[in-house]
Amino acid sequence: MSAPTTEAPLQEHGGGDVRSSRRLRQVRELGILLALVLLIAATTAVNPGFLSSQSIDDLLLGATLLTILAVGQTLVVITRSVDLSVGSVLGLSAFAVGTLFVSFPGLPVPVVALAGVLLGAVCGAVNGALVATARVPALVVTLGTLYVFRGIDYWWASGTQINAADMPASFLGLGRTSVLGVPVPALIALGVVVAAGWYLRSYRSGRELYAIGSEPHAARLSGIPVDRRIFGAFVVNGALAGLAGVLYAARFGTLDATVGSGLELEVVAAAVVGGVAIFGGSGTVYGAALGAVLLTTIGSALPVLRVNAFWQEAVVGLLILVAIGMDRLLAVRAARRLRGGESRGA
C-alpha cells in the first residue's frame, strides 16, 4: 500500500501535502497530550490526592463512555457527516439492557451485552440508510432520529425506572473489576480506540473514509463505493453507542428514559477538540480519544483546583474555540508554506 507520490497541486483547504498534514496532526495530538499533562500536573501540585489510585480509576471510568462515543463519531465525521443521535441511542441501548435483565433474569451477561450493541447497530443502520440512500444531510436526519429514538425510549420506559437491584451482580461488577490495575471498561475503550485507529490507518476501506470526507465527488468518480462506506460508518458508530449504553448500564445501574440526554454535543466537542475537522477528511481516533479524556479530566480537576464547578461548561466551550482556532491557524500556515510564500492575488 504505497501512496502514489504525485506532485500535489495547490490546495486551498488543507489536505494537499500528505507529509505536512501528518506532521500537523502529530503536533496537534502532542498539543492535547501536553495540555492534559499540564492540567494533571497543576492539579496534583495543588492537591496531591488528585492522582491517588482511586481517582485515576474514576477518571478512566468517566472517560470510558465519552471515548467510545468519540471514536464512533470520528468515523462518521471523517466522512463529512455527523451523528447527533448517539445520546439517544446510548439511552435506548442502556434501557434495553436493563429491560432484558428484568424480563429474562436467567440470561447470560454476554448475550445481553451483545443485544445492546446490536440494537445500537440497528439504530445506526437507520441513520446510515437515510443518509446514504436518501442522500439527506446527516445533520438533519440525525437531528430527527435524536427525537425519534428518545421518544421510543420514553414510550418504552413509560415513566418506570430500572434499579441496580434488578440486574445481576456479575454484570454490575464489570465496572469494578480490574485487569492489571486497569478497570475493564477502560480496557474495552482502549481496545476500541486501537482497533478503530488501526482500521483507519491500514485498511483500504478505512482510507476511503478520508477520501470521501476530503472530496465526496472525487471519491465517487474514483470508484469508491461512497454510500456503502458512509452506511458502514454509521452502523459502526451506532454499535459503539450501543456498547457505551451497555457499559453505562453496568456502571450506574439506575436507568430511566433520560439516560444520555444532551450527550451528543459533548461527543462532537471531544472529537473537535481532538482535531477531527467538522467538515471531514482529517483527524484521528487517537486525537478524539485524547479530546474525550481531556474534557473528562477538566470536569474532575476543577473542583480539586477550588474552581467553582459551574465554570466547567464554559471552559469546555473555550477549549473548543481554541482548538478549532488553532487548527485554522495551522492550516493557513501550511497552505502559505505550500504556496511558497507567495500571497494570493486579491
Partner 1 sequence: MVPDVSTPTTGEAAAAPRPAEPRSALRALASARGTSVIGALLVSVLAASFLVEGFASGRNAGFVVLDIAAIALIALPMTLVIITGEIDLSVASTLGLTSAVMGQLWVAGLPLETIVPFCLVLGAVLGAVNGLLVTVAGLPSLAVTIGTMALYRGLAYVILGDRAVADFPLSWTGGATSRIPGTPIPWVAVLILVLALVFGVLLHSTAFGRSLYAIGSNDEAARFSGISVGRTKLWLFVATGAVAALAGVFWTLQYGSARADNAAGLELSVVAAVLLGGVSIFGGVGALPGVLGGVLLLGTIRNALQLADVSSDTLSIVTGLLLVVSVVAPNAVARMRARRPGPGAPRSRRPGGPDVPRPFSSRTER
Nearer to partner 1, 109 or 302 (CB): 302
The DSSP bridge partners found for residue 255 are: 162
Query: What are the cell numbers at 206?
Result: 478505512
The minimum distance between CB 202 and partner 1, in angstroms, equals: 7
Classify residue 12 by its DSSP letter: S
The minimum distance between CB 134 and partner 1, in angstroms, equals: 5
Cα–Cα dist 216/224, whole Å? 9
In the chain, alpha helices (H)? 18-46, 53-78, 86-103, 109-133, 138-157, 169-172, 184-202, 204-214, 216-221, 226-252, 263-273, 285-304, 311-338
The minimum distance between CB 92 and partner 1, in angstroms, equals: 12
Nearer to partner 1, 150 or 251 (CB): 150
The minimum distance between CB 124 and partner 1, in angstroms, equals: 9
The minimum distance between CB 304 and partner 1, in angstroms, equals: 18
**Each residue of 133-155: b (16+ CB within 10 Å) or e?**
eeeeebeebbeebbeebbebbee
Burial of 295 (0-12, 13-18, 19+ CB in 10 A): buried
Nearer to partner 1, 97 or 268 (CB): 268
Classify residue 83 by its DSSP letter: -
Nearer to partner 1, 39 or 107 (CB): 39
Nearer to partner 1, 45 or 278 (CB): 278
Nearer to partner 1, 186 or 235 (CB): 235
The minimum distance between CB 52 and partner 1, in angstroms, equals: 28
Terminus-to-terminus CA distance in the chain, angstroms? 41
Nearer to partner 1, 44 or 205 (CB): 205
The minimum distance between CB 236 and partner 1, in angstroms, equals: 6
Instruction: Dihedral sign for Cα 47, 50, 51, 53, please.
Output: positive
